[in-house]
Amino acid sequence: MKNRKVDIIIVALIAITLVWLLAIYQGLPDTIPTHWNISGEADNFGSKNSLFIMFAVMVGINLLLPLLAKIDPRSDNYKRFSHAYDVFRIAFTLFFMALMFIAVQEAKGDTSSIFTVENLVPSLIGVLFVVIGNYMPKFKHNYTIGIKTPWTLANEEVWNKTHRMAGPIWTAGGVIMVFNQFVFTTEISKIVLIAVIVSIIAIPTLYSYLEYKKVKSKE
C-alpha cells in the first residue's frame, strides 16, 4: 500500500511536469541550454525538444528503479528500507523537475542576479545530498542504491558501518553546497564545491576499505 501511494505521487509529479512542458513549449526559444560548466556558464545547447528528452529520462529512471529493486540479488532487503527508497525516488523526481525548470528559466532569461544557474544547480544538488544523507544509514545491503565499493558489496557489516558513517558526511556536505554559492566568492566557492564532492566520495571509500580489512583480520 505504501509503494502504491508513492507510485501515485510520482505519476502525479510526472503528469504535472508534462502538462507544464506542453503549456510553455510554444513560447520557448528554439535553442535552450542543456549543460553548464562549473562556473554556471552554458557550454552546450540543443533544441527546445531537449526538454522532452530530459522528461523521458526522468520517466525512464522512475520505471527502472522499481524493476532494479525486484531483480536485485538482495531484493529481500528492500523491504527493510522501503521508506528510505521511496523518499529517494520522490527526491530524484523533484530534482529532475527542478533541473528542467532551471533550464527553461535560463533559456527565457528570467533568472535574477541571485537565482542564477551558478547558484541554483549546486544548491539543488546540495539539497539532494541532504535528503540522501539523512536516509543513507537506513540503506540495507543491495546492488542498486548506496555506496557501492568492492568492500561494502562484499560484506554486509562493512556496508552498514560505512553507510552509518557516510550519512552525516553527505548531509553536512549537502548543507555546505546549499549555502556555498551565497557565502563565498566565485573562485573560493568552486574550490569548496570540489572539496565537498571529493570528500563525500573519498572518505566513505577509504573507510569501507579499512573496515573490510578489520573484518578480514578478525576472521
Question: What CA–CA distance (Å, rounded) separates 162 from 137?
Answer: 8
Q: Which range has the top average pLDDT, 3-7, 22-26, 32-36, 167-171?
A: 167-171
Residue 37 banded pLDDT, cuts 50, 70, 90:
low
User: Which residue bears the cell 548531509?
Assistant: 171
The torsion angles phi and psi of 99, rounded to 5 degrees, stand at: -60, -45
Question: What CA–CA distance (Å, rounded) separates 10 from 193?
Answer: 30
Average pLDDT over residues 98-118: 70
pLDDT higher than threshold 90 for residue 8? yes
Average pLDDT over residues 59-87: 92
DSSP three-state, residue 155:
coil
Question: What would the DSSP string read from start to end of 26-84?
Answer: GGS-SEEEEEE-TTS-EEEEEETTHHHHHHHHHHHHHHHHHHHHHHSTTGGGGGGGHHH
Domains identified in the chain, total number? 1
Residue 44 banded pLDDT, cuts 50, 70, 90:
confident
Average pLDDT over residues 66-80: 92
Beta bridge partners of residue 32, listed in sequence order: 46
CB proximity list for 132: less than 8 A, separation 6 or greater? 88, 91, 170, 174
Average pLDDT over residues 107-132: 75
Residue 100 banded pLDDT, cuts 50, 70, 90:
confident
Q: Which of 131, 127, 111, 132 is nearest to 179 (CA)?
A: 127
Q: What type of residue is 184?
A: F
Q: Are 46 and 32 in contact (CB under 8 A)?
A: yes
Q: What per-residue confidence (pLDDT) applies to 40?
A: 58
Residue 39 banded pLDDT, cuts 50, 70, 90:
low
The residue segments making up the domain with residue 214 are: 2-218
Q: What type of residue is 3?
A: N
- Of 115 and 177, the structure prediction assigns the larger pLDDT to 177
Q: Are 119 and 182 in contact (CB under 8 A)?
A: yes
Q: What per-residue confidence (pLDDT) applies to 218?
A: 83
Residue 164 banded pLDDT, cuts 50, 70, 90:
very high
